[in-house]
A = this chain, B = another copy of it.
Amino acid sequence: MTNTKFDVLGIGNAIVDIIGRCDDAFLARHGAPKGHMRLVDAETVSRLYKDMGPGVEVSGGSAANTMVGIASFGGRAAFIGKVAEDEFGRIFAHDIRAAGVHFETPLSTSGVPTARCLILVTPDGERTMNTYLGVSPDLNRGEINPELIQSAGIIFLEGYLFDRPEAKDAFRQAAGTAAAAGRKVALSLSDGFCVDRHREEFLDLVKNSVDILIANENEITSLYQVATFEEAMQQAQADTELAVLTRSAQGSVICEKGKEPIVIPAMAADVVDVTGAGDLYAAGFLYGFARGLDLATAGRLGSIAAAEVISHFGARPQKNLAELARTQGLI
């Protein structure tokens, strides 16, 4: 897109992940819904942390991971999200800037700590997330810089933001500013349970405000409350210009309104930890789309990025994604 300073601007919860291993019994004992994200309070996160095994701390956050992926492809990415002026906040700010993403949201000094997510990885590589949002939802309208929004070709919003009214307000404002400036609005549905919590509002957004919808099979069937992927896909295709639907090992399907869906195979990977698979698929797709590549190539870039991130602990790429894409002859 022309006249843009950034290919994509992401807005989302700014989180540091604490990743550890556990077995299924541990999840059951703590009432953590396997494969999902649940919000927990400060007390619960403390109790769970005390009981869990040794952890590794890595910057995370869904839209933030996506922006880091876009930068790794060589794209121009920016991020808006709220952390505190504390150790985790400094880690988050350092890591996202060091990855080449523009990040200027001021650190909060309110005393509420930076968000953290305890990610429990079971032996099958599935991840179960327990998020204490801390200061993250305190993102307010004033921090959604309209000039920054207008300077990006696409703004990318994570559904998780809807879990707090303050952030939801900022979210809607950003979408409005982007639309008025003729920019594309992309939305990730984030999590099936998150969709359950906000179904009506998400449906309204998808029908009226969103140009690019990104969701996995669980999320899209939850949105439309249908039994099969095919039914959900048809409804998504009717409701949006572009729906990008991921299906784990079955790859992904890109549905443009009025056209034949494009099926993209998944890339083979030794699964260590699936955390970030959706975020990094979105990174590859949005990078390709923003750079004007055809939809099938954009989808394949998504598959490359997802395969890289699930082959190791943590939701941010460890290899240079542009190099991986060049090796595959895609860019």
Contact = CB atoms under 8 A, between A and B. Distances in A.
Interface of A: 20, 49-50, 52-59, 68, 86-88, 91, 94-96, 98-99, 314, 316
A52 B99 CA distance: 10
B57 A94 contact: no
A98 B314 contact: no
Given A94-B49, A94-B50, A56 B88 contact: no
Contacts of A98: 20, 52-55
16 contacts: A20-B98, A49-B94, A50-B94, A52-B98, A54-B68, A54-B95, A54-B96, A54-B98, A54-B99, A55-B94, A55-B98, A56-B57, A56-B58, A56-B314, A57-B58, A87-B87
Nearest to A54: B95
The 5 closest A-B pairs by CB, nearest first: A57-B57, A87-B87, A54-B95, A54-B98, A53-B98
B99 A53 contact: yes
Nearest to A96: B54
Centre residue among A52, A86, A94, A96 by max chain B CB count within 10 A: A94
A43 to B, nearest CB: 15
A310 to B, nearest CB: 16
A87 B91 CA distance: 11
Contacts of A68: 54
A153 to B, nearest CB: 24
A49 B95 CA distance: 10
Contacts of A316: 54
A95 B55 contact: yes
A99 B87 CA distance: 23
